[in-house]
């Protein structure tokens, strides 16, 4: 297996300390805090370890504090309910003695029922589209270091946007984005593992959809972005080592908060998951930021 993907699976597996207490490490992907998708995937993994014979169908999470990349995260699972068809788990992620994240996840015994779904958007397929890492060398020189690392570091997923992103001269666009995603290597047919990985990758690109109408790019020091909450529904079984279309839109931004929604489809148009996220999107004046950090410029 590709070493980067293998490392991510190890990251999401967790160490079991007690029956309902787990410990996880973090990876630095270039963000100033622990990547939100990592905590989502790890918390779901912790909950899954306490459930048998049932599959996750939804999770709802809040990000409370910045995660420290250099410290382990402790996950405490509350076995809230085990009913005839559904089980519910509450998970709290703790660092330095304080909660940084909490999650509620619901699991269901597989059943057959009514079926309908939304149609997949009519967009080009992944073949022939360029991955985000395929950026011309002359363009990389114009991109801030933080953004350059995000674009060039080896990642466990491929990202092929239907519309290429302009990182140097962003234009104002409708708040809609379509990205094909796929794990970089084949995976075991373990639905719980695929759910963990989808939870991880669902935090990529979603919030930034709210910046499209404003022509803003994260990584230039003019905008602060951070996830506030995240919800994810698993509708049908899927495999993240096969192409999934992540179709996103942002119907609203207000009060320094951006609101985004997403749907994930297989190549043949099956809707497998839906996401919703609200996050902090705050414009920063570089001059004021410098004044706050430089004592010579403070009164």
**CATH code, 202:** 2.40.160.210
pLDDT, average across residues 172-181: 96
Task: For residue 296, give the DSSP letter.
Answer: G
Q: Is 227 a catalytic residue?
A: yes
Domain that holds residue 262: 3-109+130-295
130-139, 169-178, 247-256: lowest mean pLDDT where?
A: 130-139
99-103, 205-209, 229-233: lowest mean pLDDT where?
A: 205-209
Nearest CA-CA partner of 207 in 258, 264, 246: 258
Residue 92: pLDDT band (50, 70, 90) is very high
Cα–Cα distance for residue pair 275/76, rounded to 1 Å: 24
Cα–Cα distance for residue pair 65/86, rounded to 1 Å: 30
Instruction: Specify if 114 maps to a domain.
Output: no
Residue in this structure with the two tokens 């114009």, named with its chain if needed? 142
Residue 164: pLDDT band (50, 70, 90) is confident
- The pair phi, psi for residue 211, each rounded to 5°, is -95, -10
Which pLDDT belongs to residue 219?
59
Which pLDDT belongs to residue 245?
98
Cα–Cα distance for residue pair 131/254, rounded to 1 Å: 31
Sequence length of the chain is 299
Instruction: Specify if 147 maps to a domain.
Output: yes
Which pLDDT belongs to residue 221?
64
Instruction: Specify if 125 maps to a domain.
Output: no
Number of structural domains the chain divides into = 1
Distances from the Cα of 281 to the Cαs of 47, 186, 253, in angstroms? 30, 36, 8
Please pick, among 31, 195, 208, 227, the residue that the annotation labels catalytic: 227
Instruction: Specify if 120 maps to a domain.
Output: no
- Burial class (CB within 10 angstroms; exposed 0-12, middle 13-18, buried 19+) of 295: exposed
For the segment 96-146, what is each residue's pLDDT rounded down to a tens digit?
Answer: 999 999 999 999 999 999 999 999 999 999 999 998 877 655 567 766 666
CB 179 within 8 A of CB 265: no
pLDDT, average across residues 176-187: 97
Tokens of 176: 């809609």
Helix/strand/coil for 233: strand
Which has the higher per-residue pLDDT, 269 or 284?
269
CB 26 within 8 A of CB 87: no
Which pLDDT belongs to residue 257?
97
């Amino acid at each position: 297996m590709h070493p980067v993907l293998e490392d991510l699976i190890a990251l999401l597996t967790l160490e079991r300390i007690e029956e309902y207490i787990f410990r996880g490490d973090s990876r630095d992907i270039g963000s100033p805090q622990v990547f939100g998708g990592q905590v989502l995937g790890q918390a779901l993994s912790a909950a899954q370890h306490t459930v048998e014979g049932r599959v996750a169908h939804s999770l709802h999470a809040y990000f409370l504090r910045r995660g420290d990349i250099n410290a382990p995260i402790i996950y405490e699972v509350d076995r809230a309910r085990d009913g005839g068809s559904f089980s519910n788990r509450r998970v709290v992620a703790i660092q330095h003695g304080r909660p940084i994240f909490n999650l509620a996840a619901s699991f269901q015994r597989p059943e057959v029922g009514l079926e309908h779904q939304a149609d997949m958007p009519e967009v080009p397929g992944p073949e022939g589209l360029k991955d985000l890492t395929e950026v011309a060398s002359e363009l990389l020189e114009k991109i801030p270091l933080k953004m350059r690392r995000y674009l060039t570091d080896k990642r466990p997923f491929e990202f092929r946007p239907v519309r290429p992103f302009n990182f140097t001269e962003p234009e104002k666009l409708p708040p809609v984005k379509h990205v094909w995603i796929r794990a970089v290597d084949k995976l075991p047919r373990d639905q719980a593992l695929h759910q963990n990985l989808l939870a991880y990758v669902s935090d990529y690109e979603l919030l930034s959809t709210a910046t499209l109408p404003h022509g803003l790019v994260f990584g230039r020091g003019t905008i602060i972005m951070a996830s506030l909450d995240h919800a994810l529904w698993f509708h049908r079984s899927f495999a993240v080592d096969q192409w999934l279309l992540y179709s996103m839109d942002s119907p609203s931004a207000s009060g320094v908060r951006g609101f985004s929604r997403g749907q994930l489809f297989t190549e043949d148009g099956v809707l497998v998951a839906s996401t919703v996220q609200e996050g902090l999107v705050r414009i920063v004046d570089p001059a004021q930021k410098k004044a706050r950090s430089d004592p010579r410029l403070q009164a």
